[in-house]
A and B are shown apart, each in its own frame.
Chain A
Amino acid sequence: MAHVIDDETIEYVGILAKLELSEEEREQAKKDMGSMLDYIDKLGELDTTDIEPMSHVFPVQNVFREDVVTSGDMREQMLANAPQEKDGMFVVPKTFEG
């Protein structure tokens, strides 16, 4: 395996992804990520000179909506999957700005 993921990297990725990993999971994730990166490296073997970077897989562009209201009050449906609701709002753990 060409790519070796160190503890610091897996820790950082864990923070970004909001994941708490056990020692075992951490080792497995390091292995998985390393082999993923190896796989991606295959792309580097291809000659891409004179090829425009692609930003989308479909040969489609310019799909727009008209600025017209098409949906009504769907609050009940939107809240149906919420683990907890109150006063028509989603309840989440306390957050604070600053």
Chain B
Amino acid sequence: MEKQYETVIGLEVHVELATKTKIFCGCSTAFGGAPNTHTCPVCTGMPGTLPVLNGQVLEYAVAVGLATNCSITRYCKFDRKNYFYPDNPQNYQISQLYLPICRNGHVDIETEGGVKSIGIHEIHMEEDAGKLIHDEWEDVSLVDYNRSGVPLIEIVSEPDMRNAQEVIAYLEKLRMTIQYLGASDCKLNEGSMRADVNLSVREVGSTELGTRTEMKNLNSFRAITRAITGERERQIELLERGESVVQETRRWDDAREVSYAMRSKEDAQDYRYFPDPDLVPIQLDDAFIERVRAGQPEFREEKMERYRREFDIPDYDTRIITGSKHMADLFEATVELCHQPKKVSNWLMGETLRLLKEREMDPEDIRFTPAHFAKLIDLTERKVINTTVAKEVFEEMFDRDVDPEGYVEDKGLKMVGDGNALRKTVEEVIAANPQSVADYRGGKEKAIGFLVGQTMKAMKGKADPASVNQLLKELL
């Protein structure tokens, strides 16, 4: 009989925290600065400098730990992880090995297979490395330390996942939780969330773990799914040929859909961790932890419950809206202003999702304000503009956050409410299109559509199509 294999997956997820400054110095974490303009003696590893922990990093780490049911380590400290590589100016990364800030947590995920609990082994705080750029002209590399010292948390799961679907559900869950906390924007494609996949296979029924590999460079859910399938197959093929899996780090090439072993840095996976003498230990008391706990937001599950109670919108809409903290905030703030949950939800489900897709943006990137959004809904409700015009204005608002009221005014987009002007135009259209008029009178109902179109065109789109339709019927 053919052997059946089970995939065993654990994840190491790095998340860049949304602090204003780096973890151990007062340099800005802002993106897009010219190379090395956000650096100082501390984050470039100059001798004799003293790192001091950013209190906000600790708060975010504890907040994530509490939200993922971890126990918080009351006495914790930092260690040095030693390695030589030019992205790391100190020749060690400040991290936590012996006493990580959070341990023994879990999150529940939901897939087609039902609800499952995924264990979290630990969460630790550490610093990011600089960026290496290969110089095309000379055979050298260039280093930019703007990212050096940017705060990270690394969330290490237990090997509890069995397929790509569970991995994605777990990542979605982490992302949502952390976004709700405001601790990070968690963008895989921009690197503020990075997932390394530890994968091994074993025969179904076996309780022993097989030799695992670690897969890096996974920048999208799609890449993660493909890498899991690819690595599972590669390992099974090796085992079927009677060979064994080598424990190694592999890099995924998503364009070619293959992975290859990364050259180990002089095969020394010996980081010689030791306590960092520059950083004093952290002793957390109940008051601190309770203060962080009190600041926890309403998470997605609770929010969905409340939406079901408070708003008369479809469950599908609730899921999509609460799937992004930013969209949920926008929804609630706009409803607060215009009291039209159904209408707000419709605009989000329709035009907003369409434009997000078209512009290749995440819901977190939405920039228009609730005030403008509410104004647009009000303009359509009061029939100041018709639906076609509303969509046009919405797009302007989506792209540039224009004030819909001012925009409609400036562009002269108001519907012509003046009955006489409309009647006059309709009469002109009837006079100019005797053939369609004859068709309609002869029983061809569809002919009226053409006449409505002609009228709308003559009115430059600023009429209400329903009124035009009614008026035409009346006059014919």
Contact = CB atoms under 8 A, between A and B. Distances in A.
Interface of A: 12, 15-16, 18, 55-58, 60-71, 73-75, 78-79, 86-98
A78 B275 contact: no
Given A63-B280, A78-B40, A55 B275 contact: yes
Contacts of B25: 71
A71 B22 CA distance: 11
Given A16-B268, A68-B21, A74-B40, A60 B280 contact: yes
Contacts of B283: 61-62
A26 B37 CA distance: 42
Contacts of A88: 34-37, 144
A17 to B, nearest CB: 8
30 contacts: A15-B266, A56-B280, A57-B277, A61-B282, A64-B52, A64-B53, A65-B26, A65-B55, A67-B55, A67-B56, A69-B26, A70-B21, A71-B27, A71-B40, A75-B39, A78-B39, A86-B140, A88-B35, A88-B144, A90-B86, A91-B135, A91-B140, A91-B141, A91-B143, A92-B142, A93-B140, A93-B141, A95-B132, A96-B134, A98-B263
A95 B141 CA distance: 6
Report which residue of A71, A92, A93 has the largest number of chain B beta carbons within 10 angstroms of its beta carbon. Answer: A71
Nearest to A91: B140
B445 interface: no
Contacts of B77: 55-56
Contacts of A69: 20-21, 26-28
B133 interface: yes
A69 B20 CA distance: 7
Interface string B57-97: 11000000000000000000100001011100000000000
A67 B140 contact: no
Contact of B262 (A70, A94, A98): A98
Contact of B37 (A58, A66, A75, A86): A75
B230 interface: no
B36 A89 contact: yes
Q: Which 5 A-B pairs have the closest CB atoms?
A: A70-B26, A64-B55, A89-B142, A67-B56, A92-B86
B39 A61 contact: no
A94 B21 contact: no
A89 to B, nearest CB: 4
A18 B281 CA distance: 31
B410 interface: no
Contacts of B39: 74-75, 78
Given A15-B268, A71-B40, 5 more contacts: A56-B277, A63-B280, A64-B55, A69-B27, A88-B35
A49 B461 CA distance: 88
A83 to B, nearest CB: 11
Interface string B349-366: 000000000000000000
B280 A91 contact: no
A78 B25 CA distance: 14
A90 B21 contact: no
Given A68-B20, A95-B86, A56 B275 contact: yes
Interface in B128-186: 132-135, 138-145
A92 B141 contact: yes
A90 B260 CA distance: 29
A63 to B, nearest CB: 5
Contacts of B139: 94
Contacts of B275: 55-56
A9 B239 CA distance: 34
A73 B37 contact: yes
B26 A87 contact: no
A61 B281 contact: yes
Contacts of B262: 97-98
B150 to A, nearest CB: 13
Contacts of A86: 135, 138, 140, 142
B29 to A, nearest CB: 9
A67 B281 contact: no
Contacts of B21: 65, 67-70
Nearest to B26: A70
A92 B140 contact: yes
B260 to A, nearest CB: 6
A61 B163 CA distance: 43
Given A56-B281, A57-B277, A67-B56, A94 B134 contact: yes
B54 interface: yes
Contact of A16 (B53, B133, B272): B272
Contact of B52 (A63, A92, A96, A97): A63
Nearest to B58: A64
Contact of B143 (A12, A71, A89): A89
B85 A95 contact: yes
